[in-house]
Amino acid sequence: MKRVFNFSPGPSALPLPVLEKAAAGMCDANGTGQSVMEMSHRSKDFKPIIEKTETLLRELMGIPANYKVLFLQGGASLQFSMLPLNLAAGEAPGAASGKKVSYIDTGVWADKAAKEAAKYAAVSVRASSKDKAYTYIPQVSSANAVANAVANAVADPDDAYLHITLNNTIVGTKWADIPDTGKVPLVSDISSCILSEPLDVSKFGMLYAGAQKNLGPAGTTVVIIREDLIGHAPAWTPAMLRYEIHAAEGSMYNTPPCYGIYIIGLVLEWLKDLGGVNAIAKLNHEKAALFYQYLENSKLFYSPVEKPFRSLMNIPFVARVEDAEKRGELETRFVKEAAAVDLINLAGHRLVGGMRASIYNAMPIEGVKALIQFMEKFEKSV
């Protein structure tokens, strides 16, 4: 069997023991004589699977009892719409009757989230790091400023919520500190950092993540939402887009992404066996430190991201070559030669170019070491 080191930003590598377990149970899951793909979602065979997945997620993330966990479809992108529809939309379709909401613009996904919200709510973009190609996280004011409604405060006290993107997959930044929004619910897209290090869920009104990075296969979206924020969608909101319906039905209003939920359960079991979030965070810090240290010392490659805001999960890097055309050629050669030695998916996002190593939970430290070794060799060949 061949296994590559896959540095894809998502869908990304899954832990080998998870894939092996899934393979072993493919035709006969848990002695039921069926694949999980063949099970009725309402059967006695599937019920323990979804229940186990939720219990493990609650345990590993320390999700308080007054939060619902929903397993939905539509990716993180559908949450860009569901969030404002449920928490801020007005009695008539369109933004005119919607509530005020705040967004912080830290990259493509944050911007997409804000633009979608603007269809249903009065969006205010409180801060942006666009001026420096999103290579840092902008400063936002404290809860004190919120309470006093001073200019440039992180949110307005009347806001239905403030939205941030905790880890910015494309540009490789992460929020070093969680902003204090006082009574205004803080909402975050945690697609590319869920379970990578401890996170105090109680600081947030809602969290959401597409599964295809740290959780499991694409097709399942996890929403973690405080109960008091559920039940505010206007009457015109479609049933499938209402949190209260999914919450009331235990994510079974319609057929949920059963197989994805099953794999997430296996990933969470694997993570628990490893020692949970603290243990994986230690490993993630070791992996990222090794790679950033290498970039610091490299004569050819560097990280374009400001130090305090560097992501643990997605590490973009650029070749130090003045001429843009020559740089492009060198980077193309790098990605191709790396793939030839089974270090795959190292091209940067098509919007920013360069290269990027995504080192999610499932990437072993051996993968990072192999990449560094390859880069050292590549440097000598240039």
Ligand X SMILES: Cc1ncc(COP(=O)(O)O)c(C=O)c1O
- Closer Cβ to ligand X, 34 or 128, answer by number: 128
Question: From CA 202, how far away is CA 183, in angstroms rounded?
Answer: 12
Which residue type does 298 have?
S
- Closer Cβ to ligand X, 182 or 316, answer by number: 316
Taking the CA atoms of residue 187, residue 189, residue 195 and residue 198 in that order, the dihedral angle to the nearest 10 degrees is -40
State the nearest-atom distance from the C-beta of 60 to ligand X, in Å: 20
- Closer Cβ to ligand X, 116 or 189, answer by number: 189
State the nearest-atom distance from the C-beta of 210 to ligand X, in Å: 3
Residues 6+ away with beta carbon under 8 Å from 160:
87, 88, 99, 100, 101, 121, 185
> If you compute the radius of gyration of the chain from its CA atoms, what whole number of angstroms results?
21
Question: From CA 140, how far away is CA 148, in angstroms rounded?
Answer: 14
Nearest Cα neighbor of 121 from 223, 234, 203, 210 is 234
State the nearest-atom distance from the C-beta of 191 to ligand X, in Å: 4
Taking the CA atoms of residue 186, residue 189, residue 193 and residue 198 in that order, the dihedral angle to the nearest 10 degrees is 20
State the nearest-atom distance from the C-beta of 320 to ligand X, in Å: 27
* Choice among 68, 99, 174, 213 that is catalytic: 213
State the nearest-atom distance from the C-beta of 298 to ligand X, in Å: 26
Question: From CA 99, how far away is CA 330, in angstroms rounded?
Answer: 49
- Closer Cβ to ligand X, 87 or 164, answer by number: 164
Check if the beta carbon of residue 230 is closer than 8 Å to that of residue 205: no
- Closer Cβ to ligand X, 169 or 251, answer by number: 169
Decide: residue 119, CB within 10 A, 0-12 exposed, 13-18 middle, 19+ buried.
middle
Residue with tokens 């832990």: 15
- Closer Cβ to ligand X, 14 or 375, answer by number: 14
Site of interaction with ligand X (CB under 6 A) = 9-10, 75-77, 109, 165, 169, 189, 191-192, 210
Residues 6+ away with beta carbon under 8 Å from 43:
none
> Is residue 270 among the annotated active site residues?
no
Other residues' Cβ atoms within 10 Å of the Cβ of residue 238: 10
Question: From CA 45, how far away is CA 241, in angstroms rounded?
Answer: 27
Instruction: State which residue has the least CB distance to ligand X.
Output: 75
Q: How far is CA 62 from CA 2, 158, 170, 311, in A?
A: 37, 29, 28, 22
* Choice among 109, 159, 174, 287 that is catalytic: 109
> Is residue 213 among the annotated active site residues?
yes
State the nearest-atom distance from the C-beta of 63 to ligand X, in Å: 20
* Choice among 174, 189, 270, 287 that is catalytic: 189
- Longest distance between any two alpha carbons in the chain, whole Å: 64
> Is residue 183 among the annotated active site residues?
no
Active site residues: 109, 189, 213
